[in-house]
Homo-oligomer: A and B are copies of this chain.
């Protein structure tokens, strides 16, 4: 592939900075919250929006495919022919809820630029990342022949654990056949530190519900004889960690693949120490599992978090009530080779052993998926690493990531392909929180990096993996 095409593509992208940003703002303005049924129409609107953008780029076979849940958007450009690799671009158009809305400086779905940042729910996770790939493909396709074949799989359920993706991939194995997946749903550790994530944690989410008395009771008349379900829930949650920060669900660590000494010494080289995490989070002091460094604890060790808890009266002032119900949302982040179904069993066994007979309880599954590990020494990883050096002037950091992208393990399992996990989000982008933002200079560099990547990959020719799906 001629270096002329490559520099013309870069030129094309540089001349369209404003339009690229306007496109992204229009996408961010769609409140495509996947977890809340109230947003179902907005989910469909976001799926149609991205499909329309793909059709404008003359991507073939664009289809909004129904699933048991939210639709998957598919499309492909196979003009490069059989001599070069096929990349499956993975992304998601759904976002996390924006609540608490009062903590946003500007509206969550009214994208606004302040300084170097675009603010809005989904700006960085991951509408900005999806648009970076589409913009890079546009720049390459508008200025010459595509150097690789590209397929697109953009789903709408990543933020709820991708419950429909496995069966969609299973029913579309032939259509999705490819050499490697490109997943831009991870991030960089700093604006000058291009990063490839080779491991992602799995996820298993639950809601625990406790039922005490038949009604909310007067705490004076009945306080002292009825076990308060809010208190019982606190006792159960308090018992889920021991004094050393270990999770106490029975058997939780049994399947955990230990870190090798080599990997530990590699992870120790990442510039992410205690002060890095304190600065990024504003937490007064760090906390976590004894015997592991912060990088190991967030990337290579499983954790259990309370994502939400609610019981009784929480409005202004006092209400002296003994609540009838208490609820907590719990999520566990998993590492190889933990299984989300087994974690559910462990939680059941914990509650069976610990919940007192003074309350009734149930757990509700809220989705999840296993962890994944990708090869760091593949040709595709090399093509991506070189593209990073071309833009940032330094090789990528290889990192384990604490977040979860269920698609990565599903694609590995059903198509036999690895994912290149990368992206241009930064640790202080407030992902999932109020004032989510995208660092625009890094985003524009990311678009250029992806242009380089497509050319680098095309130059390698042939297909990259033997075990095609």
State the A residues within 8 Å of B (CB).
34-37, 96-97, 99-100, 103, 125, 159-161, 201, 203, 205, 212-228, 230-231, 233-235, 237-241, 277, 280-289, 294, 297-298, 301, 303, 305-324, 326-329, 331, 333, 356-360, 366-367, 401-404, 427, 430-435
- Partner among B226, B239, B316 whose Cβ is within 8 Å of the Cβ of A37: B316
Given contacts A312-B307, A315-B35, contact A301 B224 (CB under 8 A): yes
Given contacts A314-B310, A318-B205, A323-B307, contact A333 B215 (CB under 8 A): no
6 new A-B pairs (CB below 8 Å) besides A224-B298, A309-B310? Answer: A99-B313, A103-B216, A213-B281, A218-B433, A308-B311, A318-B331
Given contacts A220-B401, A307-B323, contact A318 B238 (CB under 8 A): no
- Partner among B159, B203, B321 whose Cβ is within 8 Å of the Cβ of A432: B321
Cα distance A409–B241 in the bound complex, in angstroms: 44
Cα distance A94–B15 in the bound complex, in angstroms: 67
Q: Find out whether the CB atom of B309 lies under 8 angstroms from the CB atom of A320.
A: no
> Copy number of this protein in the oligomer?
2
Cα distance A67–B352 in the bound complex, in angstroms: 53
Q: Find out whether the CB atom of A220 lies under 8 angstroms from the CB atom of B235.
A: no
Distance (Å) between the CB of A162 and the closest chain B CB? 12
Distance (Å) between the CB of A237 and the closest chain B CB? 4
Q: Find out whether the CB atom of B305 lies under 8 angstroms from the CB atom of A219.
A: yes
A-B contact pairs, 27 of them (CB 8 A): A34-B317, A36-B316, A99-B313, A213-B283, A214-B282, A215-B435, A216-B434, A219-B303, A219-B432, A220-B298, A220-B404, A221-B298, A222-B280, A224-B298, A225-B288, A225-B294, A226-B277, A230-B328, A231-B237, A235-B238, A285-B356, A286-B358, A306-B323, A309-B310, A309-B311, A317-B366, A321-B433
Contacts of A309 in B (CB 8 A): 230, 233-234, 309-312, 314, 326
Cα distance A38–B235 in the bound complex, in angstroms: 34
Q: Find out whether the CB atom of A306 lies under 8 angstroms from the CB atom of B234.
A: yes
Contacts of A305 in B (CB 8 A): 219, 223, 228, 231, 320, 322
- Closest residue of chain B to A226 (Cβ to Cβ) is B283
- Closest residue of chain B to A200 (Cβ to Cβ) is B220
Contacts of A360 in B (CB 8 A): 284
Contacts of A311 in B (CB 8 A): 306, 308-309
Cα distance A294–B432 in the bound complex, in angstroms: 47
Contacts of A306 in B (CB 8 A): 228, 230-231, 234, 311-312, 323
Q: Find out whether the CB atom of A223 lies under 8 angstroms from the CB atom of B333.
A: yes
Given contacts A35-B319, A305-B320, A404-B220, contact A285 B99 (CB under 8 A): no
Indicate the member of A214, A284, A307, A434 with the most B CB atoms within 10 Å: A307
Cα distance A315–B238 in the bound complex, in angstroms: 22
Q: Find out whether the CB atom of B234 lies under 8 angstroms from the CB atom of A319.
A: no
Q: Find out whether the CB atom of A316 lies under 8 angstroms from the CB atom of B35.
A: yes
Cα distance A357–B284 in the bound complex, in angstroms: 7
Indicate the member of A224, A281, A329 with the most B CB atoms within 10 Å: A224
Q: Find out whether the CB atom of A312 lies under 8 angstroms from the CB atom of B308.
A: yes
Contacts of A36 in B (CB 8 A): 315-317
- Closest residue of chain B to A310 (Cβ to Cβ) is B314
Q: Find out whether the CB atom of B215 lies under 8 angstroms from the CB atom of A282.
A: yes
Distance (Å) between the CB of A308 and the closest chain B CB? 4
Cα distance A212–B220 in the bound complex, in angstroms: 32
Q: Find out whether the CB atom of B323 lies under 8 angstroms from the CB atom of A403.
A: no
Distance (Å) between the CB of A401 and the closest chain B CB? 7
Distance (Å) between the CB of A34 and the closest chain B CB? 8
Q: Find out whether the CB atom of B358 lies under 8 angstroms from the CB atom of A284.
A: yes
